[in-house]
Amino acid sequence: MNLLGIGIDVVEVSRIRSSMDEFGQKFLDRIFTEQERSYCQRQKRPELHYAARFAAKEAISKAFGTGIGKDVGWLDMEIFRRPSGEPEVRLSGAAAVCADERGVTQVMVSLTHARDYAAANAVLI
């Protein structure tokens, strides 16, 4: 197993809530996949779950060393839950190409959130 990259990110939940209030569905559609939006909207405080996924996408892009852009776009990464509750990452589009080019076989993430903050770690193997 080769460690190819690590990333971390912390997000203020109020920042995500503010973007949701100001830009509404346009913001959500630009950052989150349909499956992510469906999951988050079913939660008691959707902004917490959106913030954790936002942090995960930032952490993944940092692990790739690219940031969010042409190599790894917001919608090229999807964070979903396994039946066990463990978060899992699905790459598509440019991010999948970038992963293939770099020999990435697995992207692991860990998410957490509290009242005011959400955070995520990402590891590329």
Pick from 42, 41, 48: which is nearest to 117 by CA? 48
Q: Which of 44, 49, 70, 113 is catalytic?
A: 113
User: Of 68, 51, 33, which is closest to residue 119 (Cα–Cα)?
Assistant: 51
- Active site (annotated) includes residue 49: no
Q: Is 70 a catalytic residue?
A: no
SS3 readout for 41-63: HCCCCHHHHHHHHHHHHHHHHHH
Residue whose C-alpha is closest to residue 101's, from 55, 59, 65, 53: 65
**Which of 44, 57, 62, 70 is labelled catalytic?**
62
- Residue 71 near residue 16, CB atoms below 8 Å: no
Q: Which residues are catalytic?
A: 62, 113
